[in-house]
Amino acid sequence: MKQLLSAGLLCAACSLAHADNDISLLVFGASIHSQCSGKHCDFNGENPGLGLEWAPLGNDADGRWISRIGSYRDSFRETAWFVAGGWRKEWQLGSSPLYAGTTLLLGYLDGSGVKQVVAYPMLSIGTRKLALEVGYAPKMDYTPHKTRVAVTTFNLRWTF
């Protein structure tokens, strides 16, 4: 599966490199687990990984439609991958170069205890070229491992 995902990422990067749209590199790095049953959460909080984002449609006024693909080391110390589509809207903070934004993704996740379609909201802060994204998955009962924890994730989005 890793080889297939790696080949897909490479093909996507090559084909999109010449497109006249926003292409971003996603760098995944950390997660915080909360609302755990018991005394503490015994999950991996370091989640390195890479992904690509393509924003082919939309504009600054109405938001951008995006698609993403990526892979990371999940909270169970296993390789996870996802493919998703969604929408992002960003607002400039006054006359500064900073932007705050919100993103809603819907896609398929294979990892982190699930193999199904999931919705994932995120907030972002940064510049046009580099932004920190913070995502949140609430505590739910659907995971096969019956972990039932909330997860907050942190990643960087670097737009070429």
Q: Tell whether the model's pLDDT for residue 15 goes beyond 80.
A: no
Going by pLDDT thresholds of 50, 70 and 90, the confidence category of residue 112 is confident
pLDDT digits (tens, 9 = 90+) for 70-81: 998 877 778 889
Higher-pLDDT residue of 80 and 87 is 87
Q: Tell whether the model's pLDDT for residue 34 goes beyond 80.
A: no
Please provide the size of the chain in residues: 160
What region does 101 belong to: left with phi over 0, alpha with psi -120 to 50, or beta? beta
Higher-pLDDT residue of 127 and 150 is 127
At residue 147, the 3 state secondary structure works out as coil
CB 108 within 8 A of CB 116: yes
pTM equals 0.78
Higher-pLDDT residue of 83 and 38 is 83
What are the domain boundaries of the chain?
2-14+22-159
Q: Which percentage of the chain shows pLDDT scores above 70?
A: 71
Going by pLDDT thresholds of 50, 70 and 90, the confidence category of residue 18 is very low
Q: Tell whether the model's pLDDT for residue 42 goes beyond 50.
A: yes
Q: Output the average pLDDT for the chain.
A: 81
Residues 6+ apart with CB under 8 A from 48: 28, 29, 72, 73
What CATH fold (topology level) applies to the domain 2-14+22-159?
Porin (2.40.160)
| CA of residue 77 relative to chain centroid, distance | 17
Which residue, among 60, 85, 81, has the nearest Cα to 6 in the 3D structure? 81
Burial class (CB within 10 angstroms; exposed 0-12, middle 13-18, buried 19+) of 72: buried
- Bridge partners, 59 (sequence order): 63
Which residue, among 149, 144, 155, 68, has the nearest Cα to 111 in the 3D structure? 144
Q: Tell whether the model's pLDDT for residue 157 goes beyond 80.
A: yes
